[in-house]
Amino acid sequence: MSSWSLRKKLLVWGCSTLALAIVLVAIGIGLAWRHLNGNIKTEGASLKPSAMSGKQDILFIGSDSRAGGNQSLGGGDVSGARSDTTMVFDSPADRSKATEVSIPRDSMVQIPACTSTSTSTSTGTSGTTVAANFGMFNSAFSEGGAPCTVKTIESLTGLTLTHYIAIDFEGVVGVVNAIGGVKVCVTQAIDDADSGLNIPAGTTTLNGDQALAFVRLRHSVGDGSDLERIQRQQYFVDQLERQVRAAGLITDPLKLYKVLDAATSSLTTDPGLGTVTDLYSLAQTLNGIPDGKTDYVTVPNEPYPADTNRVVWTEPAATNLWNGLIDEAATASASASSSASAKALDQLQGVLELELMAATGTSSPGGADVGTCPVS
């Protein structure tokens, strides 16, 4: 056999082997992608989705469902699910700015009549008809799931919601564990029997269970209010986002997959966000919002006279807030571009950021007034 013939055969063999490897990798990626898409649960709601590049008003819900593994994480055998945290993320079509509005779960509001279309076991409310009533805001979710929460918010605010994303306890724990923990700093030692959190003053790296306890922490820090807890949650998400960006996930495919698996396995969305690609498309357009151009606010509120442990929305300030969001431009478009590697990392971070906003209802740093401090 001539040396040329041998080289030719080796070349053909090498190319064939490489081609087979590429096919196998592609099959593996395809199966992995299918698995991630299969993780995401969807539930219909009366939404009016715009183009991804259009004006977005997205509802994020952190559910305290005890279904499945959530029972041991949440503590106790509690039926159904409540919206532990809720926020609306608004951005006009030109992506010139954004506003994130947190809604206190203890708000006393008028809940309209609605019917849940849920087929999920997370709320146990499939087909439930909920009569109109005046009650706590989070009862809309516990009685009628995401569809009734969507209808309640639209009725209260006048907004037209485009999408919703809900996440349960396991999602928070899974993501934090997958990235190796999240550093936080607290100004005083915390030993809280209700949440189970026990950490010293100063900087601590929280594991998944501790992170869940931190975002649920309420009674043993500050004034014990839900409003202060919202601020601590804002601080936590800021630290988690920093950790994700510093984790080097783009160079560690196995870790990347574990994080995405955790990030998608506890999500419930409307059908328009039912795949990783859909979530990425939304995250990518929201990445067009300039740094420093997102406002983080809580619905203006005051104590409810009949029960000071509850709040009512302060008027006309609350209506003025919502009307300001309604009046934004709805037709301009935004564009963004990046390298292939940057897109891969953006895709991960975008999906995670959407998930984390749902997990805690927030995505902005808190402050020392609620017991947090800069990480050392």
Share above pLDDT 70 across residues of the chain, in percent, rounded to a whole number: 68
H/E stretch holding 136: strand 133-136
Q: For residue 349, what are the contacts with CB-CB under 8 A and spacing of at least 6?
A: 241, 244, 245, 283
**For residue 199, what pLDDT is reported?**
92
Share above pLDDT 90 across residues of the chain, in percent, rounded to a whole number: 22
Rounded Cα distance between 189 and 336, Å, is 44
- Chain segment 92-134, per-residue pLDDT in tens: 998 898 898 989 888 999 999 988 765 443 444 456 688 999 9
- 173: closest CA among 367, 359, 327? 359
For helices 208-216 and 226-246, the axis angle rounded to 10 degrees is 150
**For residue 295, what pLDDT is reported?**
83
Q: pTM above the 0.85 mark?
A: no
**For residue 203, what pLDDT is reported?**
93
- Chain segment 192-233, per-residue pLDDT in tens: 888 889 999 999 999 999 998 888 887 777 777 777 777 787
Q: How confident is the model at residue 296 (pLDDT cuts 50, 70, 90)?
A: confident
- 217: closest CA among 202, 233, 241? 233
Decide: 32 and 137 in contact? Cβ < 8 Å: no
Question: Does position 278 have pLDDT exceeding 80, yes or no?
Answer: yes
* Residue reference for tokens 């990425």: 280
State the CB neighbour count (10 A cutoff) for residue 74: 21
Q: What is the DSSP letter of 112?
A: P
Beta-ladder partners of 268: 41, 166
State the CB neighbour count (10 A cutoff) for residue 66: 21
Decide: 285 and 52 in contact? Cβ < 8 Å: yes
Average pLDDT over residues 61-82: 49
Residue type (1 letter), 276: V
Residue of higher predicted confidence among 303 and 366? 303
Across 12-21, 267-276, 364-373, the highest mean pLDDT is recorded for: 267-276
**For residue 338, what pLDDT is reported?**
40
As a whole number, the mean pLDDT across the chain is 75
Q: Taking the chain, what is the end-to-end CA distance rounded to the nearest angstrom?
A: 68
Q: How confident is the model at residue 21 (pLDDT cuts 50, 70, 90)?
A: very low
Following CA atoms 25, 356, 136, 210 in sequence, which dihedral angle do they give, to the nearest 10 degrees?
110
